[in-house]
A and B are shown apart, each in its own frame.
Chain A
Amino acid sequence: MDIKAAIMEPKTWMILSSVVVVLMLGIGPMMISSGEVADMAEDQFGEVYTNASDADKETIEEIQKEEAYFFGATNVALSLFILGFAFLTEGSTRSKGAVFCGVSLILWAIYSQGGLDMGALGFYSVVSAPMIIVGALTLKDGE
């Protein structure tokens, strides 16, 4: 298979991006360990968590776990939509889809954190950039 052709194909990047998002930001947060939940709770709640009793710490950790699960579930759903775009569309429609999926993921990175979290934004940008670039470059192909 011609590697150059594969690189210039939006489908390749859409599949790659969705697999990365599913594994790292979908299944990852859904399978979060109790140690990671404790770190997350300490980051977000600070002294409220540190000074809490064991029972209260457990309550905070459970709510954190639930939020992480929601975040993971939404990432799984978004990845399936990207795969849908990759396999159901052709030509310039697929290119438009790739640009749309990339931009949507970046917007999701900004708004899901309730502000500018540079770590999350950086990760999603790296994942989305190839889709947006290749999609934009092939936008007029097949017209």
Chain B
Amino acid sequence: MDFKEMMTPRRGMIASGVIVLLLFGIGPILGGISGETEMFTSEDYGDIYTDASAEDKETIDKLLSVGEFSIGAGGVCIALFILALAFLTEGTTQAKAALLSGGVIMLWGLLFEIAWYLQDFGFFIEIIVMFAILCSPMFISGALHLKGDE
């Protein structure tokens, strides 16, 4: 079995879809449910959180959990769209769907990056590289099969 045969768009989309589901879906959802958030932390609020009363701290903790849970919900939705495209399409359409999915995930990552940049958190090239690695199975498999099984 050669590389092209092994790297079908469906396999590429399943691989990337499962990673998105775990990394941006289940992970943040579990963080939001447990109350131990990692993407949005009380450190973001600095003194507001430190000086807050117990009641206010509870409010901030709850909002942090909801924020992280929302990101997880978005991750799950996006992963489901990738998996649905993988299982509902065939042939060259599936290859195009793989390229589209990769492109959308890259755009999603870029928009996140712009959000952080606009909030003066700096521009993290590592995040873009991480998203590119995440999408590479879709891009490679989609590009390999774009003209069918020629």
Q: Could you tell me if B93 and A89 are in contact, using CB atoms closer than 8 angstroms?
A: yes
CB pair A65–B119 under 8 Å, yes or no, is yes
- The digit string for B75-86, where 1 denotes a CB below 8 A from any CB of A, is 011101110110
Q: Is the CB of A77 within 8 A of B73?
A: no
- Residues A108 and B63 in contact, CB atoms below 8 Å apart: no
For A59, what are the chain B residues with a Cβ–Cβ distance below 8 Å?
44-46, 48
CB pair A74–B48 under 8 Å, yes or no, is no
B21 at the interface (CB under 8 A from A): no
A136 to chain B, nearest CB (A): 16
Chain A residues within an 8 Å CB radius of B48: 48, 52, 56, 59-60
A81 touches B85 (CB 8 A): yes
Whether B123 sits at the interface, judged by CB under 8 Å, is no
Find the B residue at minimum CB distance from A69.
B115
Residues B47 and A81 in contact, CB atoms below 8 Å apart: no
Q: Does A137 contact B (CB under 8 A)?
A: no
B118, chain A: closest CB distance, angstroms = 7
By a CB distance below 8 angstroms, the chain A residues around B56 are 47-48
**Cα-based distance from A62 to B40 in the complex (angstroms):** 12
For this complex, into which size category does the number of interface residues on chain B fall? Answer: 35 or more
CA separation between A59 and B118, bound complex, in Å?
13
Number of interface residues of A (CB under 8 A): 43
With both beta carbons as reference points, the residue of chain B lying nearest to A77 in the complex is identified as B108
A96 at the B interface (CB under 8 A)? yes
* B104 on interface, CB distance cutoff 8 Å: yes
> Is B85 a contact of A45 with CB atoms below 8 Å?
no
- Of B40, B93, B112, the residue contacting A63 (CB under 8 A) is B40
Having A76-B107, A108-B73, A111-B73, one finds 10 other A-B pairs with CB under 8 Å, namely A48-B52, A60-B48, A63-B44, A74-B71, A77-B108, A78-B78, A78-B81, A107-B77, A111-B69, A114-B70
> Which are the 6 A-B pairs with shortest beta-carbon distances?
A111-B73, A114-B66, A73-B111, A74-B74, A69-B115, A81-B81
B interface with A by C-beta (< 8 Å): 32, 40, 44-48, 52, 56, 59-60, 63, 65-67, 69-71, 73-74, 76-78, 80-82, 84-85, 88-89, 93, 96-97, 100-101, 104-105, 107-108, 111-112, 114-116, 118-119
Instruction: Report 28 cross-chain contacts, Cβ distance below 8 Å, ordered by A residue.
Output: A45-B59, A45-B63, A46-B59, A47-B56, A56-B47, A56-B48, A59-B46, A60-B48, A63-B40, A67-B67, A69-B111, A70-B112, A70-B115, A73-B111, A74-B78, A76-B111, A77-B107, A77-B108, A81-B85, A84-B100, A88-B89, A88-B93, A104-B81, A107-B73, A107-B77, A111-B70, A112-B70, A114-B66
